[in-house]
Structure 1
Amino acid sequence: MSVEQAYTQCRAIAKREAKNFYYSFVALPPHKSNAMCAVYAFMRKADDLADDESLSIPERRQQMAHWLDDWRHARAGAPTDDAIFVALNDAQRRFQIPDHLLEKLVQGTTLDIQETKPGVRILEIDGEPYEVYESIEALYDYCYLVASVVGLVCIRIFGYRGAEAEKLAEETGLAFQVTNILRDVKEDGERGRIYLPLDELQAAGLAPADVVQDDPQRLRPVLQSLAAKAKAMYLASDHLIPMLDRDSRAAMWVLAKIYRMLLERIESMEFDVFSERVSVPTATKLRVLGQGMVMTLWNRVAAR
């Protein structure tokens, strides 16, 4: 399999699955867009293995272990016909993406199938076990692995100057993931996972059982508190964008804009994330992408 064919397959995965992320990929130069699609396809595969509910947890762990062994062998030079591995190897070489960041990325993905999780308590609600994060600090540790690490990978592809960019990328990733958590309260609860931290619930006079009651009115103080934290963290993206290479700034702007709009929609619906899944309409995303493409052209002219 050629590298070009591998990137084409990864792009198809990203276009089909990436939702918000894919709109930012389009605003990048082709070689950077290809690399982002390869990284996304790698993340998607890890997510799919971890979330495959047709398999037991032990079976998922075994599948994940086999897949990781195959990836590590491919990284060491073993022949592979896996499109994701071929494309990712090329992206890592082009943009000096270290293995340890991708290992951390997978570590975050596999948290949900680990036997024990730091900062997570198993509580019984209506006779069913639920995983509950004990504190906002424990939740941020989780968000770091599943989102901030993604940001650290992305800025290596985008190109950046200044050590501060890494911290800003981490904080921007936290903002994205907290937004996802707010959107997915219902779906996560149906899977036995409560990401609204226990300390935040208790401060509002609530208990984990209240999260699975589908009552946005009751949960609103906690959801508002997390939304306020996310809004403050989105300011990091404003400082990060000027530190990126000119040809990548629009991509970061598009991504941050769409996620901010998602948070704003959640707020405008008074945090009713139970009646329907909150999303940014495709037409709105395309409008944001159009603005990003204009920004891209302007940056190209300014760089001459």
Structure 2
Amino acid sequence: MTPQQYCQQKTRESGSSFTLSFMFLPKDRRDAMTALYAFCREVDDVVDECTDYQIAQTKLAWWKQEIHRLFHETPQHPVTQALKPVVNTFHLQEAHFVEIIDGMQMDTQYNRYADFEQLALYCYRVASVVGLLSAQIFGYKDQATLEYAHDLGMAFQLTNIIRDVGEDARRGRIYIPLDELERAGVTEDQLLNSQASPQTQALLLKQIERAEMFYDKALSQLPKADTKPQLPGLMMAAIYRALLQEIKPDPNLVLTHKVVLPPFRKLKLALGAWFNYRKA
């Protein structure tokens, strides 16, 4: 199995909606995104699969060393071997890969976030940085596109947090800022025990409002000249915003269920965005 085949398999196994947009890219950019996504899956799997804190830290430290080898020496892992030509071709930065690992380390250190400032740092590291790297791979001319990519990454991660409130709670994790729980009159135990109430609904609606604000801000910052190169991100935005709209009428549903869109609807949304923005 070649490094690229390994990345393709890793990406397929994830079953993520993100991979849907890769098929619309030219082969070199598609291979680059597949390698980047496989890297994100590898380091995320460390957090998901390692219940022992020290083992997780050791593995993430190894990945930091591997990123150093990727940029300065000879990488050992199939994913970083696949990334080797990518970082040169698309001028990706070492610091961004380290930031992603730092985000994963936050997941091993915290299962609560005191306020949005702390949560925003986590979202930046695990999502906005991926957005910045993706924007470079897709291609852009205007620096404002990086602001768009940053905010779109924030919107995606906030959507994930809303969708996964119940699932995360069952793992003992709360990603909604604790000061916002307190202001809404919601206790940690209510979330951990999936106890729906008018207060939890109001709290979740506030989270949806924030995510929508980041979508609006991101899209308002994308220069027209870079719309076509950034089509994969816009396709994903259409899918993720639709997921948010699916949750919005009854936000308390996420306490007990994981809301998902059927594959056909995701494909329809992606194709709709592709056609709409291609004409822009």
What is the TM-score with the length of structure 1 in the denominator? 0.84
Amino acid across the alignment from 2:4: Y
Amino acid across the alignment from 1:159: G
Q: Does 1:87 align with 2:67?
A: no
Matches within 5 A, 1:55-94: 55-78=51-74, 80=76, 82-94=77-89
- Shift in CA distance, 157/74, structure 1 to aligned 2, threshold 3 Å: closer
Q: 1:215 aligns with which of 195, 214, 217?
A: 195
Supply the distance in 2 between the matched residues of 1:281 and 1:192 (Cα, whole angstroms): 28
- Shift in CA distance, 292/211, structure 1 to aligned 2, threshold 3 Å: same
Query: Gapped runs of 5+ residues in structure 1?
Result: 118-130
> 1:164-211, CA deviations, whole angstroms, 9 ceiling, x for partnerless residues?
222222111111111111111112112221111111111112222221
1:269: how far off? 3.5
Supply the distance in 1 between the matched residues of 2:256 and 2:185 (Cα, whole angstroms): 23
Larger CA deviation: 94-103 vs 162-171: 162-171
Determine helix, strand or coil for the equivalent of 1:194. coil
Larger CA deviation: 90-99 vs 11-20: 11-20
Q: 2:131 aligns with which of 120, 145, 151?
A: 151
2:23 aligns with 26
Identity across matched positions, percent: 31
- Structure 1 segments of 4+ aligned residues over 6 angstroms from their partners: none
- Shift in CA distance, 187/19, structure 1 to aligned 2, threshold 3 Å: same
Larger CA deviation: 210-219 vs 248-257: 210-219
1:292: how far off? 4.7
Q: Does 1:278 align with 2:235?
A: no
Query: Gapped runs of 5+ residues in structure 2?
Result: none
Supply the distance in 1 between the matched residues of 2:131 and 2:212 (Cα, whole angstroms): 17
Amino acid across the alignment from 1:279: V
- Shift in CA distance, 141/32, structure 1 to aligned 2, threshold 3 Å: same
- Shift in CA distance, 245/8, structure 1 to aligned 2, threshold 3 Å: farther
Determine helix, strand or coil for the equivalent of 2:194. coil
Supply the distance in 1 between the matched residues of 2:19 and 2:75 (Cα, whole angstroms): 29
- Shift in CA distance, 186/275, structure 1 to aligned 2, threshold 3 Å: closer
1:213: how far off? 2.3
Amino acid across the alignment from 2:11: A
Matches within 5 A, 1:117-128: none
1:287: how far off? 1.3
1:172 aligns with 152
Q: Does 1:237 align with 2:232?
A: no
1:203 aligns with 183
Asked if 2 retains the 8 angstrom alpha-carbon contact of 1:158 and 1:245, the reply is no
Determine helix, strand or coil for the equivalent of 2:261. coil
Amino acid across the alignment from 1:202: E
Amino acid across the alignment from 1:269: D
Q: Does 1:184 align with 2:180?
A: no
Asked if 1 retains the 8 angstrom alpha-carbon contact of 2:166 and 2:256, the reply is no
2:4 aligns with 7
1:155: how far off? 0.9
> 1:42-96, CA deviations, whole angstroms, 9 ceiling, x for partnerless residues?
010001112214x51111211222233234224323263x320111111111100
Amino acid across the alignment from 1:105: I
2:101 aligns with 106
What is the TM-score with the length of structure 2 in the denominator? 0.91
Determine helix, strand or coil for the equivalent of 2:169. helix
Larger Rg: 1
Amino acid across the alignment from 1:171: D
Supply the distance in 2 between the matched residues of 1:191 and 1:295 (Cα, whole angstroms): 40
> 1:261-300, CA deviations, whole angstroms, 9 ceiling, x for partnerless residues?
111111133431133211111011111233355468x57x
Supply the distance in 2 between the matched residues of 1:213 and 1:184 (Cα, whole angstroms): 14
